[in-house]
Amino acid sequence: MGRRFGQHFLTRKSFLDRIAAAACPEIQPEANAPVIEIGAGRGALTEALLERTSKVTAIEVDPVLVHYLQQKFREALESGRLELVQGDVLKTDLAGLLPEAPVIAGNLPYYITSPILERVFALGTRWSRAVFLVQSEVAARLAASPGGRDYGYLSVLTQIHARAQILFEVPRAAFRPAPKVDSAVVLLEPRDAAQEWNLPDKRAFLRFASACFQHKRKTLRNNLAPSYGKDRMDALAEGRLRAEQLSVPQLAALYRQLDAA
């Protein structure tokens, strides 16, 4: 079966079962939250999820694969345990699909991982957790701590919306066809940045964070002077630092300080 949308299908059952268990940790399916699966593909993860939860809503853009899934999961579809949504996840109304506090899971296409994450984060805290298979390099950036080379704007974007944890690595040999990079499974749990760090306007803070990391090797003074003035940045001890040296709470504190005046 073709791969017209650049998919690399995870086929090794041991990893599929581990992803499903991370998404649905309870033994009894009825005890687990319903799952929205992004990119059902050939249904390998769908099958593993159906063993662990009472409802899966699977999104798949490829009509050929949707037809295949309709045949493969006829019984689950007829019973209502599976719902198939044919469409592009970046154009799908995720909020309209949400049951109460769902889990979101999937093998995310490498080339649209960031836009998918932004779509999920736009849901606020209406989801209970997300378990995503992504490129290892991306997983490292999502969960990165300040001071390392992986820490950047994507880390901040992720960490004001969720707590991120890398669960395990997945080698390229576990896929068909094998990608050119290794992958990792990351767990995201939503957080309320407005409450934790006094950031009621996350969009404004993210614009600030984007400016902080605009030139990653430059100091905050140089990156923020066009917005806040050189004299003001010179007066701040943080002005001599690079953005990658500040944690998300420290960036939030700096934003509040500069935004207050």
Instruction: Note the pLDDT of residue 216.
Output: 86
Q: Would you place residue 6 in the very low, low, confident or very high pLDDT band (cuts 50, 70, 90)?
A: low
pLDDT digits (tens, 9 = 90+) for 197-207: 999 999 999 99
Q: Over the stretch 91-100, which tens digit does the pLDDT of each residue have?
A: 999 999 988 8
C-alpha dihedral, 186 to 190 to 193 to 196, nearest 10°: -100
| pLDDT score for 3 | 47
**Cα 85-181-40 angle, rounded to 5 deg:** 10
**Interval 113-159: pLDDT, tens:** 999 999 999 999 999 999 999 999 999 999 999 998 999 999 999 99
Q: Mean pLDDT of all residues in the chain? A: 94
User: What share of the chain has pLDDT > 70, as a percent?
Assistant: 97
Phi, psi of 211 (to 5 degrees): -65, -40
Kindly report whether the peptide bond that precedes residue 177 is cis, defined as omega within 30 degrees of 0.
yes
**pLDDT the model gives residue 111:** 87
> How many Å separate Cα 144 from the centre of its chain?
14
pLDDT tens digits along 165-190 = 999 999 999 998 898 899 999 999 99
Nearest to 10 by CA among 169, 189, 187: 169
Average of pLDDT values for 69-98?
96
Q: What's the CA gap between 110 and 112, in Å, rounded?
A: 6
Q: Does 2 score more than 70 pLDDT?
A: no
